[in-house]
Amino acid sequence: MKRPSIKQALILKLTIISAFMVGLSYISLTTMSTLRANAEQIGTFWMQRLVTAREIKDNFLDLKLSYAQYLLEDTAEEQKAGKQEIDAAGIALDKIVAEYENGVRTARGRELINQIKPELSKYRELADHMIALQTSEKTPEAVRFFKENLEPQAVLVNKAVADLVAFILSQAEGFVTASGVSADSAFILTAAIAAIAVLIAVAGIVFAISGIANPIRRTASAMKRLSDGDLDSDIPYAGRADEVGEMANAVEIFRQNALNVVRLEKEAADSRSESEAARKAAQQRAEREAEQLRFATTTLGGGLRRLAAGDISFQLSEQFASEYETLREDFNASLRQLGTTIGAVLQTVHSIDNGTGEIASAAQDLSKRTEQQAASLEETAAALDEITSNVTMASKRTDEARHVAVEANVSAQRSATVVAEAEQAMRRIEDSSEQISNIIGAIDEIAFQTNLLALNAGVEAARAGEAGKGFAVVAQEVRELAQRAAQAAKEIKGFIQKSSTEVQNGVKLVLETGTSLKSIGEYVVQINQLMDAIATSAREQSTGLAEINTAVNQMDQTTQQNAAMVEQSTAAAASLSSEAGRLRDLVNQFQLDGDKSAAGMERAGRAFEGNMPIRLVTPRRVTQR
């Protein structure tokens, strides 16, 4: 097999390195495009889908609270206002459901939203029946219908919405997983290509040393021995089929000519006896040829010494004898070809520097965007955590209000018992009046405490914002009921004070007191039922927010892992750039001429490196909430 020339070998190696660099750039750009597309899917579409689904649940909660509030309305004006609130809540719910349906992209998403719509329609049909009962002044039946029918249907609606939220979270997690797989694959391929490119570059360095520099140095040493008169030593690489072999063949011609000169001198000595004139002519011719040979070998030896020192910026300008002129021209042509080849090597090395710098810059931009996305997810998690805390506090306040309502109910039942005893024993009416006065005082105190608790609950609901709107309305109704109870207690006290002087009207007043206490007990029972419904809804909302908080934290951790992988890719690009710099330093040992000088290209490469800094991104720790 014919040995390839130095030029062909260098071009082949540089072509392979360039192909690997193109592949590395393509993989990096493809990976960055995939990660950017997945990030846009998560940030601009699925997170918006999640927000819309949460708005569906919140608007349904508002509608549910509006129906519950309607049960507390007594007058026609209050019922009319409550009906307007119900209509407004229903319009808002229909609007957000339609908005979500218009943005559906998947068959599963459309199936889930179509499951929610029938459940909502059934809930509103049941609610219309409850409103009809309330309008017909059948409040106990309406309350019982609300608890037995609307509450179970509300659970079905919330379950359908929860399934939709779970589907959205699973889709977002799928994109996050795909991003991680793409980043892992890109990192493995990038590392493999970079390692192969480094191995090829090292092989090129070994070839430059063993295949170019060492043969030239040995050839120069042989020429020096030849110029010193050693004609017995063989010329190395004489049969080699490349530029070094051509130089060695030329030196071998010098040696053969020198041997011919020696032979001629010997023949001239043998024929010295024939003719003095011929001897002198032959001697002069031999001396002239020897001088020409010494000049040629000395000049070539000096050129080879400069070549061995790395200087290829010169040419042999002084002409040789006609038989040696071809050797000088071949030597000069070899120098020019070698200079062109090394210049091409330098240009390719700097092209590699440019490519690695661009890859590092692109990886840097990707790292910044990944870090910004991680920061946004962390802020979202913190906001969700705060909302969850507020909802939990609202649920706790609701439980406290329900407990107070139970105590008020117990007190009302005690008062009813006392009134029954007063009806059966009018003889003890004076003693019972004092006991009733004490009990009414306790009711007044309970009403005062209930008023304070309702006021505190209203303040907490106002702090909760939109999520506590319905709870604020219920708290206001509780406060009004407490004020009514306090007013009734004051009236009963007045009746008790007059009982000592108006014994004849005592029975009538006691009956009126019993009726009022019975009404208070019924109101307290209704309040207790509504408080149970509000507490259940608040707990469901708190559980849903906790699940969303956990999912967002998992997405934050995955984004941080992607940032670490980008950092590893950046480090690999920096390592490849360093290896290319080492190759450039080795080639810079050769001195070129003109604008292609090694020093000038080295300065250009270092200036490029100075303009392309590589900054690694440190991944942040994610705290699980």
Mean pLDDT computed over every residue of the chain: 73
How far is it, in rounded angstroms, from Cα 307 to Cα 335? Answer: 8
Phi, psi of 541 (to 5 degrees): -65, -40
Does the model's pTM come out above 0.75? Answer: no
Q: Of 160, 182, 41, 183, which is closest to residue 112 (Cα–Cα)? A: 160
Band (pLDDT 50/70/90 cuts) for residue 604 is very low
Angle at 61 between CA 55 and CA 64, to 5 degrees: 145
pLDDT tens digits along 182-213: 767 767 877 777 778 778 777 777 766 776 77
What pLDDT was estimated at residue 312?
A: 75
Q: How far is CA 345 from CA 306, 545, 598, in A?
A: 20, 62, 10
What residue spans of 103-150 are helical by DSSP H? 107-135, 139-145
Compute how many other C-beta atoms are within 10 angstroms of the C-beta atom of residue 114. Answer: 12
Tens digit of each residue's pLDDT (9 = 90 or more) over 86-142: 888 888 888 888 888 787 777 887 888 888 888 888 888 888 888 887 777 787 887
- pLDDT above 70 as % of the chain: 69
Angle at 350 between CA 347 and CA 354, to 5 degrees: 135
The DSSP annotation for 208-224 comes to: IIIIIIHHHHHHHHHHH
Half-sphere exposure of 154 (CA within 13 A, CB side): 25
pLDDT at 616 over 50: no
Looking at the DSSP assignment, which residues form a beta bridge with residue 311?
591
**Confidence at 54, pLDDT banded by 50, 70, 90:** confident
Tokens 């908080």, located at residue: 549
The owner of tokens 């459309």 is: 110
Mean pLDDT value of segment 206-225: 74
Assign 625 a pLDDT band (cuts: 50, 70, 90).
very low
SS3 string, 6-33, reads: HHHHHHHHHHHHHHHHHHHHHHHHHHHH
Q: Are 401 and 449 in contact (CB under 8 A)?
A: no
Considering only CA atoms, which of 354, 357, 345 is closest in space to residue 312?
A: 345
Most confident of 24-33, 223-232, 321-330, 404-413: 321-330
Q: Which helix (H) or strand (E) holds 541?
A: helix 506-587
Q: Mean pLDDT over residues 335-354, rounded?
A: 76
Identify the band that residue 615 occupies on the pLDDT scale cut at 50, 70 and 90. very low
Q: Kindly tell me if the per-residue pLDDT of 603 is higher than 50.
A: no
> What pLDDT shows up at residue 605?
46
Name the β-bridge partners of 591: 311
Determine the pLDDT at residue 98.
Answer: 82
User: How many CB atoms are closer than 10 A to CB 483?
Assistant: 15
Q: Which of 254-258, 482-486, 593-597 has the lowest mean pLDDT?
A: 593-597
The 10s digit of each residue's pLDDT in 137-190 is 787 887 888 888 888 888 888 888 888 888 878 877 777 777 677 767 767 877
Q: What is the pLDDT of residues 518-545, one digit of tens each?
A: 777 676 677 777 767 776 776 777 777 6
What is the SS3 assignment for 54?
A: helix
Calculated CA dihedral for residues 188, 192, 193, 196, nearest 10 degrees: 170
DSSP string, 324-353: HHHHHHHHHHHHHHHHHHHHHHHHHHHHHH
What span, in angstroms and rounded, lies between the C-alpha atoms of 57 and 67?
Answer: 15
Give the start-to-end residue ranges of the domains of the chain: 6-204+346-611, 226-331
Distance CA 163, CA 609 (A): 54
Triad 210, 211, 217: Cα angle to 5°: 75
Six-digit token string for 89: 């809540």
Contacts 24+ apart (CB under 8 A), 388-393: 388/542, 388/545, 388/546, 388/549, 390/463, 390/464, 390/467, 390/468, 391/464, 391/467, 391/538, 391/541, 391/542, 391/545, 392/542, 393/460, 393/464
Tell me: pLDDT of 293 over 70.
yes
pLDDT at residue 483, rounded to an integer: 74
Residues 6 or more apart in contact with residue 548 via CB below 8 angstroms: 50, 54, 165, 169, 384
Model confidence band, residue 287 (pLDDT cutoffs 50, 70, 90): confident
Helix (H) or strand (E) holding 162: helix 151-207
Question: What is residue 599's three-state secondary structure?
Answer: helix
